[in-house]
Amino acid sequence: MARRGYHHGNLRQALVEAALALITQKGPQGFTLSEAAKQADVTPAAVYRHFAGREELLVEVARQGFDIFGALMEYAFDDGKPSALAAFEAVGRAYLAFARKYPGHYQAMFESGISAQKHADLALASRKSSAVLERAAEALSAHIPPGKRPPAAMFSAHVWAMSHGVVELFTRGEARSPFPAEDLLEAGIGIYLRGLGLLPQDT
């Protein structure tokens, strides 16, 4: 019998897929590298040809997640069309859609305890996705004189935090709301932006 993993195809990606399945089942800290090897049907020793340890595997899962996340955010932004406000709200909804469709990636990105700043590729992928929201924020505040507009990085970070909170409480958490997550987020964004003076009070 051939040794498991000896003629495996794309072993590196197979381990990423195995980790995603385990993260979805047990959380990002709930599995071992040996379990990932077993899930991918290879020997534990074969894992070390591609990853120095479990953290390095999680970093790759998170990096791929940020790549997908950034692409979804970019698609939702659509160069600010059909309007700056619609594009900004679409980016917020894309956050919720990503968390639902890619729960394993989401947990590796935001719940694994990995610091993106310690891993250059992960930090770059993370910055690319956050830059989309900042561009949307800049477009939304472009009509305000530079000296009076709030920093785009600040209010984009606040909306990111709001989106994350809705995901954690009402999309992935045990809390329940009588309102759809998208409606909660849109209402929250509207109230926040009106408070900053970015939207008319009757919008």
Per-residue pLDDT tens digits for 53-84: 899 999 999 999 999 999 999 999 999 999 99
CATH topology of domain 1-51: Arc Repressor Mutant, subunit A (1.10.10)
Answer yes or no: are the C-beta atoms of 30 and 54 closer than 8 Å: no
In degrees, rounded to 5, the angle at the alpha carbon of residue 64 between the alpha carbons of residues 49 and 154 is 135
Find where tokens 């009588």 sit: 178
Per-chain mean pLDDT for the chain: 87
Q: What is the pLDDT of residue 202?
A: 58
Counting beta carbons within 10 angstroms of the beta carbon of residue 97, is it exposed (0 to 12), middle (13 to 18) or buried (19 or more)?
A: middle
Instruction: Check if the beta carbon of residue 155 is closer than 8 Å to that of residue 134.
Output: no
pTM: 0.87
pLDDT in 10s for each residue of the chain, 203 residues: 334 444 456 888 999 999 999 999 999 999 998 999 999 888 888 888 889 889 999 999 999 999 999 999 999 999 999 999 899 989 999 999 999 999 999 999 999 888 888 899 999 999 998 999 999 999 988 888 888 888 999 989 999 999 999 998 887 766 677 888 889 999 999 999 888 888 765 55
Q: Where are the domains of the chain?
A: 1-51, 59-195
Q: Kindly report the CATH class assigned to 59-195.
A: mainly alpha
